[in-house]
Chain A
Amino acid sequence: MKKDRKETAADAFEKALKGPSDAKYVLRLYVTGSTPRSQRAIKNIKKICEEHLKGRYELEVIDVYQQPGSAVEEDILAAPTLVKKLPPPLKKFIGDLSDMEQVLLGLNIVPKS
């Protein structure tokens, strides 16, 4: 999933400048085991990605129970947390992502009309 990030970052920045429509998204979702809340978050982000970012996103789901060190690295406090690594700026969404509008707005995605 992590392929050539440096280049991607530069590209993504360029794209971000051009507009949201074709920017590449790198997303990480930190969940805590397979609780209903985690499930909901995973379902929600997958739906958003498939509907709005098809073909231009990377999504990694990380179980912090399995990798507690990653919580320290990424400074995870709440669960679930979605981290938008790219395009900049870095953003964290806490919660189960059920407030779709808020997520889309935060991700700077213009919903297809």
Chain B
Amino acid sequence: MKNRQKSGLHAVKVEKVPTGIQGLDSITSGGLPRGRTTLVTGNPGTGKTMFGLEFLVRGAELFKEPGVFVSFEENVEEMVANGASLGFDLSKLCSDNLLFMDFVRVERSEIEETGEYDLEGLFIRLKYAIDSVGAKRVALDTIESLFAGLPNTAILRAELRRLFRWLKDRGMTTIITGERGKDSLTREGLEEYVSDCVILLDHRVTEEVSTRRLRIVKYRGSEHGTNEYPFLIGDNGFIVLPITSIGLAYSVGKERISSGIPRLDAMLSGLGYYKGSLVLITGTAGTGKSSMAATFVDAACRRGEKAAFFAFEESPDQIMRNMASIGVNLVRWKDSGLLEFFAERPTAFGLEHHLMKMIHIVEKINPSVVVIDPFSNLPDVGSFKEVRSMIQRLIDYLKGSGVTTLLTSLTSGKRDEEMTDVGISSLADTWLLLKTIEAGGERNRGMYILKSRGMAHSNQIREYVFTDNGIDILDVYVGPEGVLTGSVRLAQEAKERDREEALRKEIERLEINLEKRRSIMEAQLAQVGKEFEYEKNSLANEIDKKNIALKAIAQHKKEMAVSRKADEQGEG
């Protein structure tokens, strides 16, 4: 009968059975201990039954390991209905011989003890069930009900001990569920019998929002995550979030992406944000955080990249309308499918639900950039610590996936501006701080880069304005009292414009003068040339005349000699 021998004295690494429950296998580094019993405990309504059910269903569907579900609380019809709520077709699994369900009803009023007995009936049923589908997995839910039905706990305890031994000997990977007791893990101390693996489920309501948690209390012979992990029971079963296991191991690139505002890119050493980094934009109300975010998304879509916009404050339509007013047309990206909006009230779900939903969406659409606007609304849902841990997990996840994330956060004017509500600023790679600058009876918008890891960024406070063509970062005018903004800046600009104008006029005047001089000089030159020409001609005439006269004299001399018949050598 024994298909599994007890392991010897030497240490044997625990063999594991993947549960197929999303996330759980990475917390347990591989699943539950094979051929052993795992206790799943928790208060009523924490999802113990669902846990057991999914363990079997996934086993049957994903790993072709048939399972036996023995319920001590609900009948087969109710179990089928429970399964349907998670999208499991239990009837089909049963008819495919991948699942066997049995309902053990223990009704105290019907039962009378009349002497010695054992629970062999239960063993026979289990054996019958295991044999009829060739089961590898067993779930007993909730075996503690037996304590209510059978008065003789001494027998019951002995028999339970025998049962767990029996299941182990058969190599059944078993889940037993138990109700959490006041001071112990289970009401009846089942953890005494199960020493291999204990998982605790918790469901708590903090400020009217419920969150589910899972913790591995014990896992003999195996490493495991020790944190409390949020989990969700959704339409598709359990999802556990082992995000922290990603840790800080993600790789980073040197690639940069534009912020969508050329002059902001210039402030970020000319190239924009690092790809896969976390950009945090904080600011008081009305400083244009959403507009910055929208511009960033717009730029990504222009490059043909996918973007996911998680809106926790405004509806997508409202965002698109508002952004259209500053010339950022998001509608076309939404229509073309590059941009997807996910708008939700923060209080609509618990934190872990939000987190998992976001991760689910990111996995589904695989965006290059993600915007969460604003994440500072999330603390409505949970405590400071919870939100921070959630954001941390999300950021770890997004960074691990190479997604560039932009978070906006509202800071109240009263508090220190260089602080975020959930203290995640240390996680941010680039932090832009938007602030209103009050001067000269006006409020104007100013921004500066509080930090930007890994780049030589600008240290200036810059004023920016919304135009019909998006956000424009303006030139810096520094006055005696710091950066000039608004109409003071305009005045300063005007003053400078006037000065420029005056100089330009002066230059123009000088140029005209120069031109005049040149034309005078040229006219004079022409005149001199003309005079020279004239004199040159008259002098040439004179020279000609003289030459002719000279020739005439020579001719005369010759003629005289001829007439005197003088010899040619003798002269005179």
Contact = CB atoms under 8 A, between A and B. Distances in A.
A77 B118 CA distance: 9
A71 B119 contact: no
Interface string B134-171: 00000000000010011000000000000000000000
Interface in A69-113: 69, 71-72, 75-82, 89-99, 102-103, 106
A77 B147 CA distance: 13
B17 interface: no
Interface string B73-116: 00000000000000000000000000000111110001111111
B121 interface: yes
A81 B110 contact: no
A112 B511 CA distance: 142
Residue from B106, B110, B124 whose CB has the most chain A CB atoms within 10 Å: B124
A78 B120 contact: yes
A52 B295 CA distance: 93
A95 B113 contact: yes
Interface in A46-66: 64-65
B357 to A, nearest CB: 42
Given A71-B128, A75-B105, A94-B111, A37 B121 contact: no
Given A69-B128, A71-B125, A79 B112 contact: no
A81 B110 CA distance: 12
Contacts of A102: 112-114
B115 A81 contact: no
A106 B114 contact: yes
Contacts of A44: 115
B127 interface: yes
Contacts of A8: none
By size class, the interface of chain B is 20 to 34
Contacts of B121: 30, 32, 64, 71, 76-79, 81
A52 B146 CA distance: 32
Given A72-B102, A106-B112, A79 B128 contact: no
B528 interface: no
A68 interface: yes
A97 to B, nearest CB: 5
Contacts of A79: 117-121, 124
Q: Taking chain B's interface residues, is the majority helix, strand, or loop, or is none over half, making it mixed?
A: mixed
Contacts of A76: 121, 124-125
A44 B115 CA distance: 11
A99 B114 CA distance: 5
A58 to B, nearest CB: 20
A96 B114 CA distance: 6
A69 B124 CA distance: 9
Contacts of B110: 89-92
A92 B115 contact: no
Contacts of B115: 40-41, 44, 95-99
A36 to B, nearest CB: 9
B124 A71 contact: yes
B122 interface: yes
Interface string A6-39: 0000000000000000000000001010000100
A96 B117 contact: yes
Nearest to B103: A75
A95 B149 CA distance: 14
A30 B119 CA distance: 12
Nearest to B155: A78
A68 B114 contact: no
Nearest to A41: B115
Given A78-B119, A78-B150, A92 B127 contact: no
Nearest to A107: B112
A106 B117 CA distance: 17
Contact of B114 (A32, A89, A90, A103): A103
A77 B119 contact: yes
Contacts of A32: 118, 120-121, 124
A109 B414 CA distance: 84
A72 B128 contact: yes
Contacts of B146: 77
Given A72-B102, A75-B104, A79-B119, A64 B124 contact: yes
Residue from B106, B110, B146 whose CB has the most chain A CB atoms within 10 Å: B110
Given A71-B125, A106-B112, A95 B117 contact: yes
B154 to A, nearest CB: 13
A92 B116 CA distance: 14
Contacts of A78: 117-122, 150
Given A78-B150, A92-B111, A94-B112, A68 B118 contact: no
A97 B120 contact: no
A98 B116 CA distance: 8
Contact of A94 (B105, B113, B124, B127): B113
A82 B114 CA distance: 10
Contact of A96 (B102, B116, B119): B116
A91 to B, nearest CB: 6
| 8 closest cross-chain pairs (CB), A and B | A95-B115, A68-B128, A76-B121, A98-B115, A79-B120, A96-B115, A95-B114, A95-B117
Interface of B: 102-106, 110-122, 124-125, 127-129, 146, 149-150
27 contacts: A30-B121, A32-B124, A37-B116, A37-B117, A40-B115, A41-B115, A71-B121, A72-B128, A76-B124, A77-B104, A77-B146, A78-B120, A79-B118, A79-B124, A81-B121, A82-B114, A92-B110, A93-B111, A93-B112, A94-B113, A97-B114, A99-B115, A102-B112, A102-B114, A103-B112, A106-B112, A106-B114
Interface of A: 30, 32, 37, 40-41, 44, 64-65, 68-69, 71-72, 75-82, 89-99, 102-103, 106
Given A78-B118, A91-B111, 8 more contacts: A68-B128, A71-B121, A75-B105, A76-B121, A82-B114, A94-B114, A95-B116, A96-B114
